[in-house]
Amino acid sequence: MTTTADLPVVVIGAGPAGLAAAAHLVERGIEPLVLEAGPAAATAVRGWSHVRLFSTWSELTDPAAEKLLAPTGWVRPAADTYPTGGDWAEQYLQPLADVLGDRVRYGATVTGVSRLGRDRIVDADREQQPFTLRITRGDGGEERILGRAVIDASGTWSTPAPIGADGLPALGEHAASARISYRIPDLKDPAVRARYAGRRTAVIGSGASAFTALAALADMARDEPGTHSVWVLRRGISGSTFGGGSADQLPARGALGLAAKAAVDNGHADAVTGFRTQVIESADDGSPVLVGEDGRRLDPVDEVIVLTGLRPDLSFLSELRLALDERLQAPVELAPLIDPNQHSCGTVYPHGHRELSHPEQGLYLVGMKSYGRAPTFLAMTGYEQVRSVTAALAGDTEAADRVELTLPETGVCGGAGLFDDPAAGQTDEGGCCAPVAPALVQIGAGISLPVAALAGTASGGCCGS
């Protein structure tokens, strides 16, 4: 007779955190079953395969995974080099999935998770029941899978945030969808390059992904006359706008911000500050026109790239009892440690299974999904999370509680929650100058680095790195 203890721990997502979780489970003698919606490992990572990470290989592999890979002759690439998303997927994540073999199932989309015979209302014997997962296969058929525990490492890639500053799509956003992209463009792809070459593109966002897009478009502008960007920010420009720069303990992340600054300094991009898009109208030729909440209308653009963050898909967890922060949609115990409205310089406080737990025992959200809507998640955070969680599932409380995590500092003060304040940082010292009132500005004197000089290390975004 099969008991709950005989069932596998079901891991949702064959990305960096999910595959690391499976490796740790195997190391502890617990059978994992990884469900991946895509046709191969790291489908989400492959979606930004052209983007170079700002973490080096030394920060992108998990110790338990390396042990699992060692007998195959796998050797980690040079520790101090920066891979692209494609490198990460092909040289590490897919080989790890291959070693796990039949423990990884592709084309398996999870559409619902619950307790067997218990919806979220029922208390009776709830914790004694296994988890039941409804999946849709690639052929369209449905299936039910039982598990002793569930580790949701499905990430946030599939649910990008919209243009609207209120978290809702701007009026007209859907109608203009043919001119809008929510991803960093791969300008080495001829079809994508043709879409942006010689055109005017609005880039909306203030994080690493926006920096990456701005730098890439600026680089292309040198060879493609007429290529120009309009950088749309919801806040003002200050010393922290471009990240940590030379003070960032992740050098490539700091260089990335400087590359974005160089794009503006060198005239390849203009910055529109304090602009919260409310409506997208259409010019006579069909070009999108962004209209702000304050009534300002920007000149028509040919394309819009929206990089305003990602959010977790919680729809398939609706029958489970979750304890999520009302703002970040992250576990309530973790949220205060990562809240961008409060955090500035420094590191994330060490966290593991206790901060990631929910009222539904045996359920954990890990990886990027654990951060909800908070930005700047690093792979090594996810690896430490799954090490602690798998130890807890194995009953090794001592190891689960022994969490050690030190993340590189950004070198920048000022919580990210201020990014949406149009007046935030206007008088910060050590930064670029910007007018007090929101306006179309071109940043003047300051540190300028040629974009080409940063191409080897600064073309990557956060993207789950």
pLDDT per residue over 271-323, tens digit each?
Answer: 999 999 999 999 999 999 999 999 999 999 999 999 999 999 999 999 999 99
Is the pLDDT assigned to residue 324 strictly greater than 50? yes
Distance CA 314, CA 256 (A): 32
Least confident of 15-29, 374-388, 443-457: 443-457
Angle at 326 between CA 323 and CA 331, to 5 degrees: 35
pLDDT score recorded for residue 158: 94
What are the pLDDT digits (tens) for 422-445? 443 333 332 222 222 333 333 222
pLDDT score recorded for residue 410: 47
Is the pLDDT assigned to residue 462 strictly greater than 50? no
pLDDT score recorded for residue 261: 82
Which residue carries 């690093």 as its tokens? 378
pLDDT score recorded for residue 338: 86
- The per-residue pLDDT of the chain, averaged, comes to 84
Distance CA 314, CA 329 (A): 9
Instruction: Give the closest residue to 65 by CA, choosing from 31, 107, 98.
Output: 98
Please give the model's pTM, rounded to 2 decimal places. 0.84
What are the pLDDT digits (tens) for 208-261? 889 889 999 999 999 999 999 999 998 876 555 555 555 555 555 667 778 888
pLDDT score recorded for residue 358: 97
Question: Quick one: which H or E segment has residue 85?
Answer: helix 85-88
246, with CB counted inside 10 A (0-12, 13-18, 19+), is: exposed
What are the pLDDT digits (tens) for 111-149? 999 999 999 999 999 999 999 999 999 999 999 999 999
What are the pLDDT digits (tens) for 168-187? 999 999 999 999 999 999 99
What are the pLDDT digits (tens) for 162-173? 999 899 999 999
pLDDT score recorded for residue 463: 36
β-strands 269-272, 440-441 pairing? antiparallel
Distance CA 280, CA 168 (A): 13
Residue type, 289: V
Other C-beta atoms within 10 Å of 299: how many? 13
pLDDT score recorded for residue 242: 59
Distance CA 160, CA 162 (A): 6
pLDDT score recorded for residue 435: 27
282, with CB counted inside 10 A (0-12, 13-18, 19+), is: middle
Q: Would you give the end-to-end CA distance of the chain in angstroms?
A: 43
Residue 262: half-sphere exposure toward Cβ, Cα within 13 Å? 25
Q: Using pLDDT thresholds of 50, 70 and 90, give the confidence band for residue 350.
A: confident
- Tokens in use for 129? 């029941």
Written as one string, the DSSP assignment of 109-170 is: EEEEEEETTB-TT--TTGGGSPEEEEEEETTS-EEEEEESEEEE---STT-B--S-TTSSPP
